[in-house]
């Protein structure tokens, strides 16, 4: 990995210089789901806010979606693969057990330098990946990172289980982070990450290469996850604000993991974040796990909501449990 030569590595900041996303072509509405699952549009909308999700076809693997999102982020930044020396892909649905999906994306983009690896923190994966990339960039261990969240949860949900299968969708999002010594107050300001493996049974996949030798299917105690998400996850948000010496009043955009509109709004209310500062995409994307935040970031940046200088908070909780929050000055 190329090291950035600098006399004052502590002055480096990880600045977002590009975003991109990719969604499978196939849109599945709630109405379409009722043809294969005992559910209703009214139940899904009322309990989750989801109206539709994108579902990958056989050719659209996680690396394919991730590569498209990464390419869009590179184009947005005016960069090519030659400019990238770190690729991190947050995913729980890798194309294969190994090699890392990040290396498949790296190869597809023609990147032959630097390191590429996957990061597995389920729905919190993108927040963990941003924080990890930030450490590489601000210590001079990498110059520019592609940070990707890419998922095909449609492959691991149990399509016979109506309590979970209606919630998830497929997609990918990516950001390019660049190490800059002249960033001023821009860049990743801080992150707060937590995990507590005692909650495994509440959200897990019932198989894996080291246990059953199968992929397994997603299992979730929805009510328990809901309670934890609203009740506990605010600790990382409060910690991130404290680290940065900022408050919810300073925030321009709250970009949470998109699992459930009720969870998002209850969390925002608890934190004193006005509803108009929430970027909400769960209605169109469903829960895309590690992809949900970079997908939402790309939507809000391209429609003009997120502007340079804005203070953005990303926040997520998922299986493990693992949860985290990060503050980014755009």
Using CB under 6 A as the criterion, which residues of the chain lie in contact with ligand UT7 when the complex forms? 39, 43, 47-48, 123, 162-163, 166, 222-223, 225-226, 229, 259-260, 263, 287, 318
If phi over 0 gives left and psi between -120 and 50 gives alpha, with beta otherwise, what is residue 174?
A: beta
| DSSP result, 105-126 | HHHHTT--SSEEEEE--GGGHH
Q: How far is the CB of 130 from ligand UT7 (least distance, A)?
A: 17
| Catalytic residue status for 257 | yes
Phi, psi (5° rounding) for residue 26? -75, 120
| Catalytic residue status for 287 | yes
Q: In the complex, which residue's CB is closest to ligand UT7?
A: 222
Nearer to ligand UT7, 23 or 86 (CB): 23
Nearer to ligand UT7, 91 or 106 (CB): 91
Residue 23 to residues 26, 41, 186, 299, 309, Cα–Cα distance (Å):
8, 22, 29, 12, 28
| Catalytic residue status for 190 | no
Q: How far is the CB of 226 from ligand UT7 (least distance, A)?
A: 4
Catalytic residue chosen out of the listed positions 190, 257, 260, 285: 257
Q: How far is the CB of 119 from ligand UT7 (least distance, A)?
A: 16
Nearer to ligand UT7, 82 or 235 (CB): 235
3-state secondary structure of 327: strand
Catalytic residue chosen out of the listed positions 30, 54, 89, 123: 123
Q: How far is the CB of 215 from ligand UT7 (least distance, A)?
A: 18
Distance CA 261, CA 213 (A): 35
Nearer to ligand UT7, 208 or 309 (CB): 208
CB atoms within 10 A of CB 41: 15
Distance CA 171, CA 289 (A): 9
Distance CA 100, CA 25 (A): 25
Nearer to ligand UT7, 65 or 157 (CB): 157
Q: How far is the CB of 199 from ligand UT7 (least distance, A)?
A: 11
> What are the residues whose beta carbons fall under 8 Å from the beta carbon of 88, sequence distance 6 or more?
102, 116, 117, 118, 119, 129, 132, 133, 145, 146, 147, 148
Residues with catalytic annotation?
A: 123, 257, 287
């Amino acid at each position: 990995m190329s090291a950035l030569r600098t006399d004052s590595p502590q002055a480096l900041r990880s600045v977002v210089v590009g975003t991109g996303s990719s969604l499978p072509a196939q849109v599945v509405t709630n109405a379409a789901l009722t043809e294969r699952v005992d559910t209703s549009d009214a139940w899904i909308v009322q309990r989750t806010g989801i109206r539709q999700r994108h579902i990958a076809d056989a050719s659209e693997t996680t690396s394919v979606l991730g590569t498209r999102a990464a390419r869009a982020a590179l184009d947005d930044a005016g960069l090519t693969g030659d400019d990238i020396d770190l690729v991190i892909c947050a995913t729980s649905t890798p194309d294969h057990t190994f090699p890392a999906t990040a290396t498949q994306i790296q190869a597809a983009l023609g990147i032959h330098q630097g390191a590429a690896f996957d990061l597995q923190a389920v729905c919190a994966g993108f927040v963990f990946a941003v924080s990890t990339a930030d450490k590489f960039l601000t210590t001079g261990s990498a110059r520019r990172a592609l940070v990707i969240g890419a998922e095909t949860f449609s492959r691991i949900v149990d399509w016979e289980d109506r309590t979970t299968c209606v919630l998830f969708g497929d997609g990918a999002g990516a950001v390019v982070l660049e190490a800059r010594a002249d960033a001023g107050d821009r860049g990743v300001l801080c992150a707060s990450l937590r995990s507590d493996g005692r909650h495994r049974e509440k959200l897990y996949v019932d198989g894996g290469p080291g246990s059953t030798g199968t992929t397994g299917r997603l299992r979730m105690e929805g009510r328990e996850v809901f309670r934890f998400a609203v009740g506990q996850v605010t600790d990382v948000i409060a910690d991130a604000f404290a680290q940065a010496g900022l408050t919810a009043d300073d925030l321009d955009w709250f970009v949470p993991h998109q699992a459930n509109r009720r969870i998002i709004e209850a969390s925002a209310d608890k934190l004193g974040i006005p509803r108009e500062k929430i970027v909400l995409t769960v209605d169109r994307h469903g829960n895309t796990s590690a992809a949900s935040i970079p997908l939402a970031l790309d939507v809000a940046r391209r429609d003009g909501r997120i502007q340079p200088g804005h203070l953005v908070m990303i926040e997520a909780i998922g299986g493990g449990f693992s949860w985290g929050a990060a503050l980014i000055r755009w």
